[in-house]
Amino acid sequence: MGKIDNFKVIEKLIKEVLSDEIDYVALKENMEAYEALLINLSGLELEDESNKNNDISFENGTALGTTWAAMCVVDLIRTRQFMRGIWKAVEDLYKKKTKPIRILYAGSGPFATLVLPLMTRYTAKELQIVLLEVNEKTVGYLKRVLKQLNIEDYIAEIVCEDATAYKVATPQHIDILISETMQHALVKEQQVPILLNLIKQLREDVVMIPEKIELKLALMNTNMPLILKCKEVSKYIDIATLLEFDKAYINLYNATQDYAKKKVIELLERMPFRREEVSNFYDRLVVLTLIQVYGREWIREDESGLTIPKILLDLKGIDEHKKEISISYIMKGNPYFEYELS
């Protein structure tokens, strides 16, 4: 495929992504064509053990290995929503700001997946991107993709460093910070420490993408298929908000170092599962993840691998006398939620 054809694949994808109506068949076809193009240009062998087994572990989380980072492309709604959010953020800034618009993309993976479509719309004079990626092997593939697409003039810099410790070279220049280094319930990966480190260095008005990650404690109804006909029965019942991870939260954390506060949530008051009729259905305690990518672009429950519920507890057989749950987000090893019933 020639260079023009390569760009046609990306143009076709972004057209589909920007369409407000979701045509799942067309979206899947276009996303798969995009993935195939990127795999082909990079020369990445997904099945190669050295690409699969190169996760990097840090004291506060794991950076996914090359194959797994590449495969994120086909998490359809994730990629669609991030691309739409990023597109709109750049569009909004484009109207307001002198050029170029400068993006810092932390955890770009082997393809810089989420930002390539922008290059079908803007010139390198209008858009400059710093790519930050900790995995050396991944960076090797990334460089090949950029070269093959002949878009190196959009790239201000490629930095192979740990984003949780990286010192931004020209922090006052950055207009948009993008990072998708997360899993459901913010477990395992380093979204939180990456953004804690980068946001404090950047301008106050920097646009952070995703804008907000909401984590909620909820009850899940695992018997849903049996009662699907009953419209008023929902799959989840919210109990409490555990975390709203946005710029305000990060600034507060950086000022007080107090973010890991334990939450104590009354079970008796809040959990209807203690009523017989409910307990038969709502039988799991879960953490739900909702992502506000930018403005009206959200990824909601069960729409993506990033927003499937994280099951904490099977409620069947739980001790009736437990009155409350204390729960906290632990950012050590592979981040997770620690909880205790009392």
Ligand X SMILES: C[S@@+](CC[C@H](N)C(=O)[O-])C[C@H]1O[C@@H](n2cnc3c(N)ncnc32)[C@H](O)[C@@H]1O
Binding mask 191-230 for ligand X (x = CB under 6 A): ---x------------------------------------
Query: Phi, psi (5° rounding) for residue 208?
Result: -100, 130
Q: Where are the beta strands (DSSP E) in 176-235?
A: 176-179, 207-209, 212-221
**Which two structure tokens, joined as six digits, stand for 227?**
């009662």
At 272, phi and psi to the nearest 5?
A: -65, -5
Q: Which stretch binds ligand X (CB under 6 A): 158-166, 202-210, 280-288, 292-300?
A: 158-166
Which residue's CB is nearer to ligand X, number 73 or number 130? Answer: 73
The yes or no reply on residue 180 touching ligand X (CB under 6 A) is: yes
Dist. CA 205–CA 96, nearest whole Å: 13
**What are the C-alpha distances in Å from 262 to residues 60, 164, 338?**
18, 23, 9
Q: Does 14 bind ligand X (CB under 6 A)?
A: no
Q: Give residues 44-63 in contact with ligand X (rule: CB under 6 A).
A: 63
Closer to ligand X by CB, 106 or 174: give it: 106
Of 39, 114, 168, 202, which one interacts with ligand X (CB under 6 A)? 114
The residue sitting closest to ligand X, measured at its beta carbon, is: 107
Quote the DSSP letter at residue 115. T
Among 85, 100, 107, 117, binds ligand X (CB under 6 A): 107
Beta strands, E only, 172-295:
176-179, 207-209, 212-221, 236-246, 263-266, 282-294
Which CB atom, from 106 or from 327, has the smaller least distance to ligand X? 106
Q: Rule CB under 6 A: choose which of 42, 51, 128, 181 binds ligand X.
A: 181
Give every CB contact of residue 279 below 8 A, 6+ residues apart in sequence.
273, 315
| Interface with ligand X (CB under 6 A), residue from 6, 42, 81, 109 | 109
Q: How many residues does the chain have?
A: 342
- Where do contacts with ligand X occur on this chain (CB under 6 A)? 63-64, 69, 72-73, 106-109, 113-114, 132-135, 138, 162-164, 180-181, 190, 194
